[in-house]
Structure 1
Amino acid sequence: MIAVQKLRVEYRENPLGLDIRYPRISWQMRADERDVRQQAYQIQIAGEQDFGSSLLWDSGRVESGESLHLELKELELQSRQRYYYRITLWDQQNRQTGWSETAWWEMGLLSPEEWEAEWITAPLACLDVHADQVPLLRGNFRVDRQVTKARIYVTSLGLYELELNGARVGDAVLTPGWTSYRERLQFQTYDMTGQLAVGNNVLGAWLGNGWYKGNLGWNQQKHLYGDRTALLLQLHLTYEDGGEQIIGTGPQWKVSPGPILMSELYHGETYDARLEQRGFSQPEYDDKGWVPAEILPYTKQILLAQENVPVRAVQELTPVALIHTPAGETVLDLGQNMVGWLRFTVEGEPGQEYQLRHFEVLDQEGNVYTENLRTARQTVTYIAAGGGQESYQPRFTFQGFRYVQLIGFPAQPELQNFTGVVLHSDMEPTGTFTCSDPLLNQLQHNILWGQKGNFVDVPTDCPQRDERLGWTGDAQMFIRTSAYLMNVAPFFSKWLKDLSADQQEDGGVPYVIPHVLGEKEYSSAAWGDAAVICPWTIYQCYGDKRILEQQYSSMQGWVEYIRRQGTDEFLWNTGVHFGDWLGLDAKPDSHVGATDSNYIATAFYAYSVQLMEKTAKVLGRTEDAQHYSLLHSGVKAAFNQAFIIPAGEGGAATQTACVLALMFGLVEGTAKEHTVARLIGLLEESGYHLTTGFVGTPYLNLVLADAGHMEAAYKLLLQTDYPSWLYQITRGATTIWEHWDGIKEDGSFWSKNMNSFNHYAYGAIGDFLYRYVAGIEQMEDYPGYKQFLIQPHPGGGLTSAAAGLESMYGKIRSEWTIASGRIELIAVVPPNTSATVYLPDAALPGVLESGQQLQQVRGIHSAEQLAQAVKLTLGSGEYRFEYTFQK
Structure 2
Amino acid sequence: MHLTAYHLRVEYKENPLGIDRLRPRLGWRLQSGLRRDVQSAYRLIVSSSREALLGDSGDLWDTGKVPSDCSQHIEYEGAGLTSGQEVFWKVMVWDREGRPSPWSEPAVWSMGLLERSEWKGKWIGLKSPHAPTHAAPKPAVYLRKSLQVSKPVRRAVLYAAALGAYELYLNGSPIGNGSLNPDWTDYAIRLQYQAFDVTGQLAEGGNGLGVLLGHGWYSGYIGMFGYQRYGRDPRIMLQLNVEYQDGTVEKSYTDSTWKASFGPLVATDFQMGETYDARLAFPGWKEPAFNDAEWRQAEVFYDYKGFLCGAVCPPVKPVMELSPVSVERKETGTYVIDMGQNMVGRLRVRLSGEPGTTVILRHGEALDENGNLYTDNLRLTRQTDTYILNGEEEEWFEPFFTVHGFRYVELSGYPDVLSTEDVVGVVLHSALPKTGTLETSHPLLNQLISNIEWTQRGNFVSVPTDCPQRDERHGWTGDALVFFRTACYQLESASFFTKWLTDLTDAQRPTGAFTDFAPFIPGGKTEHGGDMTYDHTASAGWADAGVLVPWMMYQVYGDKRILQEHYPSMIRWIRFLQEMHPRHIREDLPQYGDWLSIPETGGIAELRNVSSLSTTPYDVFATSYYAYSVGVLALVAEKLGRHEEAKEWAELKEDIMKAYQKAFIDGSGRIKGDTQSAYMLALAMDLLPEDQRQAAVERLLQLLEQRNWHLSTGIHGTRYLLTLLVEAGQEEAAFRIMMKETFPSWLYSIRQGATTIWERWDGWTEERGFQRAGMNSLNHYALGSVGEWLYRYVGGIDYDEPGFKRIRIQPRIGGGLESARCQYESIYGPIACSWQQEAGRLHLSVSIPANTSASIRIPLKAGQRIIESGRDLGLSEDLRVIVHEKDYCLLDAGSGDYLFRVEGEPRKSLAPIEGQVPYSR
TM range (shorter): over 0.9
1:843–1:44 CA distance, 2 compared to 1 (3 A): farther
- Could you tell me how far 1:127 is from its partner in structure 2? 7.0
Looking at structure 2, the residues matched to 548 and 802 of structure 1 have their Cα atoms a distance apart, in angstroms, of: 33
Q: 1:359-380 CA distances to partner (integer Å, 9 max, x unpaired)? A: 1111123221111111111111
- Could you tell me how far 1:389 is from its partner in structure 2? 0.6
Moved more, 524-533 or 647-656: 647-656
- Could you tell me how far 1:300 is from its partner in structure 2? 5.4
- Could you tell me how far 1:73 is from its partner in structure 2? 2.2
Q: Gapped runs of 5+ residues in structure 1?
A: none
Q: Do structure 1's residue 304 and structure 2's residue 325 form an aligned pair? A: no
- Residue in 2 that maps onto 1:589: 609
Pairing partner for 1:264 from 248, 260, 269: 269
1:411–1:243 CA distance, 2 compared to 1 (3 A): closer
- Cα contact 1:652–1:675 (8 A) shared by 2: no
- Could you tell me how far 1:129 is from its partner in structure 2? 8.2
Looking at structure 1, the residues matched to 130 and 150 of structure 2 have their Cα atoms a distance apart, in angstroms, of: 35
1:693–1:650 CA distance, 2 compared to 1 (3 A): closer
Q: Do structure 1's residue 389 and structure 2's residue 394 form an aligned pair? A: yes
- Could you tell me how far 1:876 is from its partner in structure 2? 0.7
Q: Do structure 1's residue 79 and structure 2's residue 83 form an aligned pair? A: yes
Looking at structure 2, the residues matched to 129 and 336 of structure 1 have their Cα atoms a distance apart, in angstroms, of: 32
Q: Do structure 1's residue 625 and structure 2's residue 625 form an aligned pair? A: no
Aligned residue identity for 1:486: L
Looking at structure 1, the residues matched to 573 and 635 of structure 2 have their Cα atoms a distance apart, in angstroms, of: 15
Pairing partner for 1:797 from 816, 837, 844: 816
Q: Do structure 1's residue 287 and structure 2's residue 292 form an aligned pair? A: yes
Looking at structure 1, the residues matched to 514 and 883 of structure 2 have their Cα atoms a distance apart, in angstroms, of: 48
Q: Gapped runs of 5+ residues in structure 2?
A: 527-531, 601-605, 908-921
Q: Do structure 1's residue 209 and structure 2's residue 215 form an aligned pair? A: yes
Question: What SS class does the counterpart of residue 237 from structure 1 fall into?
Answer: strand
- Residue in 1 that maps onto 2:699: 678
Question: What SS class does the counterpart of residue 480 from structure 1 fall into?
Answer: helix
Pairing partner for 1:218 from 209, 218, 224: 224
Superposition pairs of residues 340-739 of structure 1, within 5 angstroms? 340-410=345-415, 412-516=417-521, 518-520=532-534, 521-568=536-583, 570-585=584-599, 589-590=609-610, 591-645=612-666, 648-649=669-670, 653-739=674-760
Superposition pairs of residues 308-327 of structure 1, within 5 angstroms? 308-324=313-329
1:410–1:128 CA distance, 2 compared to 1 (3 A): closer
- Could you tell me how far 1:679 is from its partner in structure 2? 0.5
- Cα contact 2:171–2:209 (8 A) shared by 1: yes
**What is the aligned-residue RMSD (CA, Å)?**
1.7
Q: Do structure 1's residue 188 and structure 2's residue 194 form an aligned pair? A: yes
Superposition pairs of residues 57-72 of structure 1, within 5 angstroms? 57-72=61-76
- Could you tell me how far 1:387 is from its partner in structure 2? 2.6
- Cα contact 1:4–1:27 (8 A) shared by 2: yes
- Residue in 2 that maps onto 1:7: 8
1:844–1:289 CA distance, 2 compared to 1 (3 A): farther
Question: What SS class does the counterpart of residue 830 from structure 1 fall into?
Answer: strand
Q: Do structure 1's residue 872 and structure 2's residue 891 form an aligned pair? A: yes
Superposition pairs of residues 765-776 of structure 1, within 5 angstroms? 765-776=786-797
- Residue in 1 that maps onto 2:841: 822
- Could you tell me how far 1:487 is from its partner in structure 2? 0.7
Looking at structure 2, the residues matched to 623 and 73 of structure 1 have their Cα atoms a distance apart, in angstroms, of: 30
1:634–1:389 CA distance, 2 compared to 1 (3 A): same
Pairing partner for 1:168 from 163, 174, 188: 174
Question: What SS class does the counterpart of residue 538 from structure 1 fall into?
Answer: helix
- Cα contact 2:352–2:416 (8 A) shared by 1: no
Q: 1:330-386 CA distances to partner (integer Å, 9 max, x unpaired)? A: 201111110001011111111111111111111123221111111111111000111
Aligned residue identity for 2:533: E
- Cα contact 1:127–1:257 (8 A) shared by 2: no
- Cα contact 1:543–1:784 (8 A) shared by 2: yes
- Could you tell me how far 1:197 is from its partner in structure 2? 2.1
Pairing partner for 1:154 from 160, 163, 170: 160
Moved more, 100-109 or 360-369: 360-369
Question: What SS class does the counterpart of residue 509 from structure 1 fall into?
Answer: coil
Moved more, 390-399 or 859-868: 859-868
1:636–1:114 CA distance, 2 compared to 1 (3 A): same
Aligned residue identity for 1:795: G
Looking at structure 2, the residues matched to 279 and 223 of structure 1 have their Cα atoms a distance apart, in angstroms, of: 31
Question: What SS class does the counterpart of residue 320 from structure 2 fall into?
Answer: strand
Looking at structure 1, the residues matched to 768 and 439 of structure 2 have their Cα atoms a distance apart, in angstroms, of: 30
Looking at structure 1, the residues matched to 863 and 899 of structure 2 have their Cα atoms a distance apart, in angstroms, of: 15
Looking at structure 2, the residues matched to 774 and 156 of structure 1 have their Cα atoms a distance apart, in angstroms, of: 43
Q: 1:272-316 CA distances to partner (integer Å, 9 max, x unpaired)? A: 001111111212111111111121012255111111111110000
1:409–1:647 CA distance, 2 compared to 1 (3 A): farther
Looking at structure 2, the residues matched to 247 and 127 of structure 1 have their Cα atoms a distance apart, in angstroms, of: 32
Aligned residue identity for 1:114: E
Question: What SS class does the counterpart of residue 421 from structure 1 fall into?
Answer: strand
Looking at structure 2, the residues matched to 300 and 107 of structure 1 have their Cα atoms a distance apart, in angstroms, of: 22
- Could you tell me how far 1:855 is from its partner in structure 2? 2.5
Moved more, 481-490 or 293-302: 293-302
- Could you tell me how far 1:579 is from its partner in structure 2? 1.0
- Cα contact 2:327–2:419 (8 A) shared by 1: no
- Residue in 2 that maps onto 1:21: 22
Moved more, 832-841 or 46-55: 46-55
- Could you tell me how far 1:507 is from its partner in structure 2? 1.2
Looking at structure 2, the residues matched to 749 and 669 of structure 1 have their Cα atoms a distance apart, in angstroms, of: 44
Moved more, 786-795 or 642-651: 642-651
Q: Do structure 1's residue 55 and structure 2's residue 58 form an aligned pair? A: yes
- Residue in 1 that maps onto 2:917: none
- Could you tell me how far 1:185 is from its partner in structure 2? 0.3
- Could you tell me how far 1:445 is from its partner in structure 2? 0.3
- Could you tell me how far 1:201 is from its partner in structure 2? 1.7
- Cα contact 1:363–1:747 (8 A) shared by 2: no
- Could you tell me how far 1:199 is from its partner in structure 2? 2.1
Looking at structure 2, the residues matched to 497 and 170 of structure 1 have their Cα atoms a distance apart, in angstroms, of: 25
Superposition pairs of residues 29-40 of structure 1, within 5 angstroms? 29-40=30-41
1:646–1:74 CA distance, 2 compared to 1 (3 A): farther
Q: 1:569-627 CA distances to partner (integer Å, 9 max, x unpaired)? A: x2222243101111111886232122110100010111111110111111111121111
- Cα contact 2:459–2:465 (8 A) shared by 1: yes
1:856–1:215 CA distance, 2 compared to 1 (3 A): same
Question: What SS class does the counterpart of residue 864 from structure 1 fall into?
Answer: strand
Aligned residue identity for 1:809: Y
Moved more, 192-201 or 371-380: 192-201
Query: Percent identity among equivalent residues?
Result: 42
- Residue in 2 that maps onto 1:753: 774
- Cα contact 1:738–1:760 (8 A) shared by 2: yes
Q: 1:124-168 CA distances to partner (integer Å, 9 max, x unpaired)? A: 6x7778871211111222211111111100021111111111111
Looking at structure 2, the residues matched to 873 and 618 of structure 1 have their Cα atoms a distance apart, in angstroms, of: 25
- Residue in 2 that maps onto 1:114: 118
The TM-score normalised by the length of structure 1 is 0.97
Looking at structure 2, the residues matched to 304 and 262 of structure 1 have their Cα atoms a distance apart, in angstroms, of: 30
Looking at structure 1, the residues matched to 646 and 699 of structure 2 have their Cα atoms a distance apart, in angstroms, of: 34
- Cα contact 1:776–1:790 (8 A) shared by 2: yes
- Cα contact 1:800–1:817 (8 A) shared by 2: yes
- Cα contact 1:330–1:411 (8 A) shared by 2: no
